[in-house]
């Protein structure tokens, strides 16, 4: 188990951090959680979160997975990219105010070039969402963010 604050595991800041904490992580998987609160970046007028935010919750869980493994190895947390998702399905239109959600991400593929695939499930009271996330964490992330030199 870890005692790292979520802000030390994901390369986000402030209101963009949507996941509250890591419940467990292992070699191939992670489980995170959050309590739906009013006033958040994506909150609707009634305090709920639209169901499409589930994809970001899953992506942040995958980021926390990478962050846990980096921290455990004494390495810095690095930026990664969500390339896309396949078949995001959710049985509700919104996650209600006060609901506790758990997100489980299981790594099903990762290659030496930084490409990965995670099978993700988000659950809560009467809530189930699932998706397969394609992610990319390049070996030298800074080179992907540099502006090209102009003559």
Domain-located, residue 145: no
Residue-wise pLDDT tens digits, 69-112 = 989 999 888 888 888 897 899 999 999 999 999 999 999 987 77
Domain-located, residue 48: yes
- Structural domain boundaries, residue 24: 6-123
Please give the model's pTM, rounded to 2 decimal places. Answer: 0.89
DSSP one-letter string for the chain: -----GGGTSS--GGG----EEEEE-SSEEEEEEE--TTSTT--TTS-EETTHHHHHHHHHHHHHHHHHHHHTT------EEEEEEEEEESSSEEPTT-EEEEEEEEEEE-TTSEEEEEEEEEETTEEEEEEEEEE--TTHHHHHPPPP--
The chain-wide mean pLDDT, for the chain, equals 88
- Count of domains for the chain: 1
Domain-located, residue 140: no
Domain-located, residue 64: yes
């Amino acid at each position: 188990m870890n005692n790292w604050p979520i802000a030390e595991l994901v390369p986000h800041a402030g209101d963009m951090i949507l996941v509250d904490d890591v419940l467990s992580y292992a070699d191939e998987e992670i489980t995170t959680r959050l309590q739906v609160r009013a006033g958040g970046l994506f909150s609707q007028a009634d305090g709920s979160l639209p169901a499409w935010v589930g994809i970001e919750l899953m992506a942040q869980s995958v980021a926390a997975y990478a962050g846990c493994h980096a921290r455990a190895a004494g390495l810095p947390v690095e930026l990664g990219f969500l390339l896309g998702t396949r078949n995001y399905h959710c049985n509700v239109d919104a996650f209600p105010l006060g609901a506790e959600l758990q997100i489980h991400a299981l790594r099903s593929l990762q290659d030496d070039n930084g490409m990965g695939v995670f099978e993700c499930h988000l659950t809560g009271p009467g809530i189930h969402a699932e998706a397969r996330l394609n992610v990319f964490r390049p070996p030298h992330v800074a080179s992907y963010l540099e502006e090209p030199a102009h003559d």
